[in-house]
Chains A and B, each alone.
Chain A
Amino acid sequence: MIIIFGIFLLTLLVITALAIVRSESLFAAVILTGIFSLLMAANFFLLDAADVALTEAAIGAGISTVLFLGALALTGEHERGGSTNRLLALGVVTVTTLIVIYATFDKPRMGDPEAPVHQHVGAWYLEKTPELIDIPNAVTAVLGSFRGYDTLGEVFVVLTAGIGVLFLLSARNPGRPEEFPAADELDQGLRHYLVPRVVGRMLIPFIFLFGLYVQFHGDYGPGGGFQAGAIVAASVILYALLEGEARAFRALPMRVLKWLVAGGALLYGAVGVTSMLLGSNFLDYSVLASDPIVGQHIGIILIELGVGITVTGVLLCVFHAFAARGKV
């Protein structure tokens, strides 16, 4: 049964991918990309990878579409003709596909307990999680604690991406003032459209609340910092879309956003340094409280919070960089 769903979804995925490549209108391509992300999320979901599916749905299908639309507002809408050598590209793709298909013949079957990925470290993590960390969601345990250093790297990658985007997109107007002028004609947002505005404003606090739920629920179910950051950012983006950039900047000025971006990573690093100061290794949460398991819980909550804050800040900075730029 799952196989049938899986094949169905994958077929739709291929069709969508072909459509994206072939369409000339970038607008259509953006929307189709949103559908593509959604199909991928459904796929991950069928493979029982709930955290990944949640992240893909929140970021790929939602935020990415909004950011792409923002970018489209600054560039043209139609693709310029490509100048690559088609036959060469086709040849490379065919060869690569054949190699990959050949490689799958050697793959162990999905879910095979004898497969190498289920032996060694994977099995150790699953075994040790109830004992050492005692939270139901093993993914968060691995992400937050066993592989905490990797996640620190991810947070810094997100931070760097945000800095990069801000550098690139602020370069044109170096003297731009921090706050937007309070001119009302500058940007109305969707204020004259009553229905979306009323419903949207009603929904914003709930979306925010849901984001917080996902953040703190990451220990017990699918969730965690990355997804929650995207959802909270989505709620603020909704506000910015509905009320216009001027008000959005008054609500959450750029200074605060920059603090958010850096603050999350700082929080994460601080947890690591604190555990060093308390006498153990970097990012070893067991020493954060008298009972090691409680220490692990505290550590995981704090770093997920750090991740969520940074992701929110970066996504909002990128959104404002795109959305506010066209107006100046």
Chain B
Amino acid sequence: MALALVRALMGPTIYDRLLAANMFGTKTVLFLSIVAFLYGRPDFLDLALVYALINFIGVIAVLEFIRERVDHDTAEKSAGE
């Protein structure tokens, strides 16, 4: 997990950071599952499930954001020409 964090901090482009965030999320899900299980609290698995879902939505949101910005830029450029 620490390694993913370092990548998140260092990544030169934002995609690296996003990738790291996604990986971090997955590792956390795994970590939570292990701990939930080791400490005998299987209801806590709901938490891992929620996080897996949310992580996914976050990445999709970034894709939408980028796409929208690129569309906007392209529209501006073609309007300016």
Contact = CB atoms under 8 A, between A and B. Distances in A.
Q: Please tell me whether chains A and B touch each other in their complex, using a CB distance cut-off of 8 A.
A: yes
Interface of A: 5, 8, 12, 15-16, 19, 25, 27-28, 31-32, 34-35, 38, 41-42, 45-46, 50, 53-54, 57-58, 61-63, 65-66, 69-70, 72-73, 187, 189-190, 193, 196, 200, 203, 207, 210, 214, 217, 220-223, 227, 231, 234, 237-238, 241-242, 326
B64 A227 contact: no
> Secondary structure at chain A's binding surface: helix, strand, loop or mixed?
helix
Contacts of A38: 24-25, 28, 51
Interface string B52-70: 0111111011111101110
Contacts of B25: 38, 61
B63 A190 contact: yes
B58 A190 contact: no
Contacts, number: 130
B81 to A, nearest CB: 18
Contacts of B2: 8, 12
Which 6 residue pairs across A and B have the least CB separation, nearest first? A62-B54, A221-B43, A66-B61, A241-B64, A57-B51, A69-B65
A214 to B, nearest CB: 7
A69 B60 CA distance: 11
B21 A35 contact: yes
B57 A57 contact: no
Contact of B58 (A34, A41, A203): A34
A38 B57 CA distance: 14
Interface in B6-44: 8-9, 14, 17-18, 21, 24-25, 28, 31-32, 35-36, 41, 43-44
Contacts of A25: 14
Contacts of B36: 45
Given A42-B28, A54-B46, A210 B53 contact: yes
A227 B60 contact: no
Given A12-B1, A196-B60, 13 more contacts: A16-B5, A19-B9, A28-B14, A34-B58, A38-B24, A41-B51, A50-B41, A61-B58, A62-B55, A73-B69, A193-B67, A214-B46, A234-B53
B14 A31 contact: yes
Given A32-B8, A221-B43, A234 B65 contact: no
A209 to B, nearest CB: 11
Residue with the highest number of chain B CB atoms closer than 10 Å, among A28, A63, A69, A210: A28
Contacts of A187: 68
B24 to A, nearest CB: 6
B41 to A, nearest CB: 8
Residue with the highest number of chain A CB atoms closer than 10 Å, among B9, B49, B53: B53
Contact of B5 (A12, A53, A200, A234): A12
Nearest to B43: A221
A68 to B, nearest CB: 9
A214 B46 CA distance: 8
Nearest to B21: A31
11 contacts: A34-B21, A45-B35, A50-B44, A58-B50, A61-B55, A66-B61, A69-B62, A73-B69, A221-B43, A227-B50, A326-B68
Contacts of A203: 53, 56
A15 B5 contact: yes
B22 to A, nearest CB: 10
A38 B28 CA distance: 8
Contacts of B54: 57-58, 61-63, 234
A58 B41 CA distance: 20
B54 to A, nearest CB: 3
A44 to B, nearest CB: 9
Nearest to B10: A19
